């Protein structure tokens, strides 16, 4: 009887152990090396004025790259490139639009109705590496969301002849029906990049995106700040698909309203009309555009910094987990504001860069316990369109089908500890399950993105990895704060909105690094589990990236 009781007890203990997150005393001890002070130290350096905003192909980038390499070498991380270096160079084409000569004129029946001002009313640029755009009397067609999605039986073009026309797009995607386009969650169909790609595919002369704070998820200042400086593209990305469209443009809400009024329409009625599956393109009768744009170009390069920790399992060491963070930011402003001209990017994304460095330090302490190999990837030119991670996805240093997971860290929790952690990409792949187990073991919760309409899954580097099939996740700051004032979430939302892509993104009085310490330790422990699990991570059945995952694994 005693033997049976002992056997039952042993079985119960083994069952409980199997249900617990895979851990080791060593990883718990290594997590203690990640502290508020060590995290803040990296941020202070990277976001200092000396680093000049860390823009691609600048002195600031050079300082950032050298800092990252020095830190990786000091930790003992090996170079991640096959030539035994840390640096993956990628070619960039820089474009500067001449704002003094840029103009758009709205005409009604050949007469000038509105003359739009660059920056104040529109942001635009030539496509296809063109130096000049000079268009007169271009016809306009409003195409709603401009989406063709057969899986949702949705087609905004309805076989209309839009070739050679300027297409006007509503930002975002339909959100009124939970059964299509994942309801409130913005898919890639809702991203501005999809609109421009679709305009090219349809043979449009030009593309205009209507900006509203609601449909974009940010104010006009972000559009002006992001597109009003030197723009970058991977060399060869422009001009590969013919000569259309000739230009791409954003219009402010006010300018868009005047454009529709000239054709006898009300902007908000037209925006609402786009939500109808039966919507058909609307020709803006009698309204034409004159567009003048000029740009100069320069060839340059940027860099990804890649470090590696070798796994120890003979059968699994050629599989990988990738940690990523973009180290770049927006550089130096064309004109100072209150004496400040440097986009320091302390939160976005010196914080994520710091977290990956500290995770690398902790994993180095337990490297003998790592079954899979680990890549630490600090990518460049994210702010210019995810270009560094896109280049890696097109020129991978390891086979994407051999990568179990990507954990992308971009803008960490800097306002204090929370009971929750947001996962952008929640329940899209099995990474969520692992994070949930480890969060619950600490009495915390993993929750979905509270702003799915913003489409954050397509707005940071994890998207580049997902596009080549790698299960990817984007941990975000939680909102259930511990030992903070009742209105702390509202306060920090306001501070975050004011600082996003602004000169004011610096370490300030609202920062409380206890939250970043807690989150980074949790990410470390969950990731250690992923590195050592028997199975690789995978997309849930039916996810948009499942098919490409299968292709890559084959």
Could you report the per-residue pLDDT of 125-169, keeping only the tens digit for each? 999 899 999 999 999 999 999 999 999 999 999 999 999 999 999
For residue 129, what is the DSSP state?
A: T
pLDDT tens digits, 459-471: 999 999 999 999 9
Angle of helix 59-75 versus helix 36-46 axis, rounded to 10:
150
Task: For residue 283, give Cα distances in angstroms to 162, 265, 372.
Answer: 10, 11, 56
Binned at pLDDT 50, 70 and 90, residue 421 comes out as very high
- Kindly tell me the burial class for residue 332, based on how many C-beta atoms sit within 10 Å of its own C-beta (0-12, 13-18, 19 or more): middle
How many other CB atoms sit within 10 Å of the CB of residue 314?
A: 8
Residue 67: what pLDDT? 98
pLDDT tens sequence across 252-273: 999 999 999 999 999 999 999 9
Quote the radius of gyration of the chain (alpha carbons, Å): 25
Report the pLDDT value the prediction gives residue 199, as an integer from 0 to 100.
97
Alpha carbon dihedral 80, 81, 87, 88, in 10-degree steps, equals -120
pLDDT (0 to 100) of residue 42: 98
| Mean residue pLDDT across the chain | 93
Q: Is the pLDDT of residue 378 over 60?
A: yes
Domain 33-92+300-553 top-level CATH class: alpha beta
Spatial separation of the C-alpha atoms in residues 140 and 289, rounded to whole Å: 8
Mean pLDDT in residue range 492-521: 97
- In tens, the pLDDT along 82-109 reads 999 999 999 999 999 999 999 999 999 9
Residue 183 confidence (pLDDT): 85
The predicted structure's pLDDT at residue 9: 45
**What residues are paired with 112 via a beta bridge?**
107
pLDDT score for 352: 98
pLDDT of residue 230: 85
Distance CA 116, CA 381 (A): 30
pLDDT at 24 over 80: no
Helix or strand or coil: residue 438?
helix
Helix H or strand E segment including 304: strand 282-309
Q: Above pLDDT 90, what percent of the chain?
A: 85
Counting Cβ atoms within 10 Å, is residue 316 exposed (0-12), middle (13-18) or buried (19+)? buried
Q: Are 280 and 143 in contact (CB under 8 A)?
A: no
Q: Where are the beta strands (DSSP E) in 80-149?
A: 87-97, 103-108, 111-116, 122-126, 132-142, 148-149
Kindly state the average pLDDT of the residues 329-337: 92
Q: Which residues contact 30 (CB under 8 A, 6 or more apart)?
A: 362, 363, 365, 366, 524
What pLDDT was estimated at residue 479? 97
pLDDT at 13: 43
pLDDT at residue 483 in the model: 96
> Which contacts qualify for 275-283: CB closer than 8 Å, 24 or more apart?
275/174, 275/176, 277/153, 277/154, 279/144, 279/156, 280/158, 280/160, 281/141, 281/142, 281/143, 281/144, 281/156, 281/157, 281/158, 281/160, 281/162, 282/141, 282/142, 283/139, 283/140, 283/141, 283/142
| Residue with the two structure tokens 């502290």 | 35
Paired residues of 108 in beta bridges: 111, 287
Predicted structure pTM score: 0.86
HEC-encoded secondary structure of 228-294: CCCEEEECCCCCCCCCCCCEEEEECHHHHHHHHHHCCCCHHHHHHHCCCCCCCCEEEEEEEEEEEEE
- Model pLDDT, residue 243: 62
CATH T-level fold of 95-297: Glucose Oxidase; domain 1 (3.50.30)
What is the average per-residue pLDDT within 408-416? Answer: 98
Distance of CA 50 to the CA centre of its chain: 26
pLDDT at 360: 98
The reported pLDDT for the residue numbered 535 is 97
pLDDT above 70: percentage of residues in the chain? 94
Q: CA–CA separation, 464 vs 470, rounded Å?
A: 9
Q: How do 87-97 and 282-309 pair as beta strands?
A: antiparallel
Q: Is the pLDDT of residue 19 over 70?
A: no
- Distance, in Å, from the CA atom of 520 to the CA atom of 502, rounded to the nearest integer, reads 25
pLDDT of residue 21: 55
How far is Cα of residue 74 from the mean position of the Cα atoms in its chain? 29
CA–CA distances in Å: residue 503 to residues 53, 330, 340, 343: 9, 9, 7, 5
In the predicted structure, residue 15 carries a pLDDT above the cut 50: no
Question: Picking from 75-89, 224-238, 324-338, which range would have the lowest pLDDT averaged per residue?
Answer: 224-238
Q: Provide the b/e sequence for 146-165 (b: ≥16 CB within 10 Å).
A: bbebeebebebbeebebeeb
Assigned token pair, 318: 């050629």
The two structure tokens encoding residue 106: 């709205």
Q: Where are the domains of the chain?
A: 33-92+300-553, 95-297
Q: How far apart are CA 382 and CA 143, in angstroms?
A: 29
């Amino acid at each position: 009887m005693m033997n049976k009781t002992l056997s039952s007890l042993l079985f119960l203990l083994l069952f409980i152990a199997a249900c617990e997150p895979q851990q080791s005393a060593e990883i718990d001890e290594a997590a203690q090396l990640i502290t508020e002070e060590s995290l803040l130290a990296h941020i202070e350096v990277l976001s200092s004025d000396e680093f000049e905003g860390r823009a691609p192909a600048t002195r600031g980038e050079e300082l950032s790259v050298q800092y990252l390499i020095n830190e990786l070498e000091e930790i003992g991380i090996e170079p991640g490139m096959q030539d035994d270096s840390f640096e993956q160079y990628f070619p960039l084409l820089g474009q500067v639009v001449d704002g003094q000569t840029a103009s758009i004129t709205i005409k009604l029946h050949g007469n000038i109705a509105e003359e739009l001002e660059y920056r104040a009313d529109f942001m635009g640029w030539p496509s296809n590496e063109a130096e000049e755009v000079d268009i007169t009397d271009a016809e306009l067609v409003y195409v709603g969301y401009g989406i063709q999605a057969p899986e949702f039986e949705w087609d905004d073009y309805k076989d209309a002849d839009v070739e050679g026309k300027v297409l006007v797009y509503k930002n975002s995607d339909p959100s009124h029906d939970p059964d299509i386009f994942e309801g409130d969650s913005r898919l890639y169909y809702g991203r501005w990049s999809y609109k421009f790609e679709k305009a090219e595919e349809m043979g449009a002369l030009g593309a205009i995106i209507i900006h509203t704070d609601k449909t974009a998820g940010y104010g006009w200042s972000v559009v002006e700040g992001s597109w009003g400086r030197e723009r970058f593209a991977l060399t060869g990305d422009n001009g590969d698909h013919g000569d259309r469209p000739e230009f791409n443009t954003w219009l402010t809400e006010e300018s868009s309203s005047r454009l529709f009024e000239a054709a006898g329409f009300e902007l908000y009625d037209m925006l609402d009309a786009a939500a109808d599956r039966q919507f058909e393109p609307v020709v803006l009768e009698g309204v034409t555009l004159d567009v003048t744009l000029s740009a100069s170009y320069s060839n340059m390069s940027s860099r990804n910094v890649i470090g590696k920790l070798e796994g120890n399992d003979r059968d699994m060491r050629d599989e990988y987990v990738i940690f990523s963070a973009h180290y770049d930011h927006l550089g130096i402003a064309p004109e100072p504001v209150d004496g400040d001209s440097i986009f320091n990017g302390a939160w976005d994304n010196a914080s994520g860069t710091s977290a990956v460095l500290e995770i690398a330090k902790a994993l180095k302490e337990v490297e003998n316990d790592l079954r899979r190999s680990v890549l630490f990837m600090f990518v460049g030119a994210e702010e210019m369109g995810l270009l560094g991670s896109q280049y890696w996805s097109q020129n991978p240093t390891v086979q994407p089908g051999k990568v179990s997971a990507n954990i992308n860290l971009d803008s960490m929790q800097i306002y204090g500890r929370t009971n929750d952690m947001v996962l952008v990409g929640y329940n899209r792949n099995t990474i969520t399950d692992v994070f949930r187990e480890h969060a619950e073991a600490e009495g915390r919760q993993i929750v979905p993105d509270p702003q799915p309409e913003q489409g954050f899954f397509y707005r940071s580097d994890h998207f580049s990895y997902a596009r080549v099939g790698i299960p990817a996740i984007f941990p975000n700051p939680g909102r259930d704060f511990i030992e903070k004032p009742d209105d702390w979430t509202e306060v920090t939302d306001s501070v975050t909105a004011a600082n996003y892509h602004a000169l004011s993104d610096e370490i300030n009085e609202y920062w409380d690094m206890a939250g970043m310490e807690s989150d980074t330790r949790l990410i470390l422990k969950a990731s250690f589990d992923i590195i050592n699990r028997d199975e690789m991570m995978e997309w849930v059945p039916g996810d948009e990236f499942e098919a490409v995952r299968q292709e890559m694994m084959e």
